[in-house]
Amino acid sequence: MQFLNLTQNTQEWEQFRQQKIGASDAPIIMEVSPWKTPFQLWLEKTGQSTGSQNQYMMRGHALEETARAEFERTTNFIVFPRVVQSVEHEWMIASLDGIDMEGKILVEIKCAGEVDHALAKQGKIPEKYYPQLQHQLAVTGLSNGYYYSFDGTDGVIVEVEHNPEYINKLIESEKKFMECVQTLSAPSLTTKDYAIRDDLAWNERAQKWLQKKQELENIEHEEKILRNELIELASNQNSQGGGVRLTHSTRKGAVDYRKIPCLKEMDLEIYRKPPSKVWSLSAV
């Protein structure tokens, strides 16, 4: 790992992490975050929306110093908040709550609520935090780290080990997400990305649209059958009659730009037009 001269929660840090995958992004990408979806994170990473802090994050920031001091008192470890970067994957970073001067002791602090704190007392890490810890272990290369659950007064330490199989899946998922960011291609939406509508106005129009869509599909199917029958009846001749005209023509094939040698080394993204918003409507 590489230690970076960045201070967490500063403007410089925010700008740097926008084009990277941080440890707190990992649960979102692995779709276990209760607060954000991959699509919402993608909007933030591509500058189409800004992130916001929820009440849990604000509570965590307020208690972090106290929790870190309590962790140090309990373990006799001295740790510091640091930003680190993976040597193998430059897009992987981690803003650590605590790591010692030698880079051997890692702790992730969560100022937990009642349910999460109870899990920690059972020696368990909440599912929504597990990817974050594995991401940190992947970036630092450490074989283990500590999850520290602090409820404001009481602290619980849970050791977490490097999970190679899970980390491989995590890195693969993060790579795909990073490609979505770089190519401005949105990741797949989850059910959480949709506002559920049950109002009368929406449902009435939805039912009418579904009915018209079905009618249109039936008409298009019938049209396709009649069109093919007319082509067959034409016996390979241009034909006219009954109010219709059937004309045969030949189109040029499309250019396969991927096969042009000089374009392989060229960055075509700089010639791409700005993205535009489109709506798609489908039956579920």
Q: pLDDT of 55-88, one tens digit each?
A: 767 777 889 999 999 999 999 999 999 999 999 9
Residues 102 and 210 placed together within one structural domain of the fold: no
> For residues 171 and 90, what is the distance between their CA atoms, to the nearest angstrom?
12
Name the domain count of the chain: 2
Residues 26 and 114 placed together within one structural domain of the fold: yes
Task: Tell me which of 191, 223, 258 is where a domain ends.
Answer: 191
Q: What is the CATH number of the domain that holds 89?
A: 3.90.320.10
Exposure of 12 by Cβ count < 10 A (0-12 exposed, 13-18 middle, 19+ buried)?
A: exposed
Task: Tell me which of 171, 191, 211 is where a domain ends.
Answer: 191
Domain range for residue 201?
195-235
User: Residue 244 domain-assigned?
Assistant: no
Residues 49 and 156 placed together within one structural domain of the fold: yes
Confidence (pLDDT) at 61? 81
Find the DSSP H helices in 4-155: 11-18, 26-29, 38-45, 55-75, 114-121, 130-140
Residues 83 and 143 placed together within one structural domain of the fold: yes
Residues 202 and 91 placed together within one structural domain of the fold: no
Residues 93 and 218 placed together within one structural domain of the fold: no
User: Residue 42 domain-assigned?
Assistant: yes
Q: Which of 84, 93, 79 is nearest to 21 (CA)?
A: 93
Task: Quick: pLDDT tens for 146-189.
Answer: 999 999 999 999 999 999 999 999 999 999 999 999 999 999 99
Exposure of 93 by Cβ count < 10 A (0-12 exposed, 13-18 middle, 19+ buried)?
A: buried
Residue 130 in tokens:
């597990």
Residues 224 and 121 placed together within one structural domain of the fold: no
The DSSP 8-state label assigned to residue 87 in this structure reads: S
Confidence (pLDDT) at 54? 67
User: Residue 242 domain-assigned?
Assistant: no
Side-by-side strand order, sheet with 106-110? 2-4, 80-85, 93-99, 106-110, 144-150, 155-161
Residues 158 and 21 placed together within one structural domain of the fold: yes
Confidence (pLDDT) at 87? 94
Q: Which of 55, 256, 49, 89 is nearest to 172 (CA)?
A: 89
Strand partners, 108: 147
Instruction: Give the end-to-end CA distance of the chain in Å, rounded to a whole number.
Output: 46
User: Residue 204 domain-assigned?
Assistant: yes
Residues of the chain predicted below pLDDT 50: none
Confidence (pLDDT) at 70? 96
Residues 71 and 45 placed together within one structural domain of the fold: yes
Residues 155 and 78 placed together within one structural domain of the fold: yes
User: Residue 170 domain-assigned?
Assistant: yes
What angle do the packed helices 164-183 and 130-140 form, to 10 degrees? Answer: 90
User: Residue 13 domain-assigned?
Assistant: yes
Confidence (pLDDT) at 230? 98
What is the SS3 assignment for 246?
strand
Residues 143 and 205 placed together within one structural domain of the fold: no
Q: pTM here?
A: 0.80
User: Residue 86 domain-assigned?
Assistant: yes
> For residues 75 and 77, what is the distance between their CA atoms, to the nearest angstrom?
5
Residues 88 and 210 placed together within one structural domain of the fold: no
User: Residue 209 domain-assigned?
Assistant: yes
Residue 237 in tokens:
């001749």
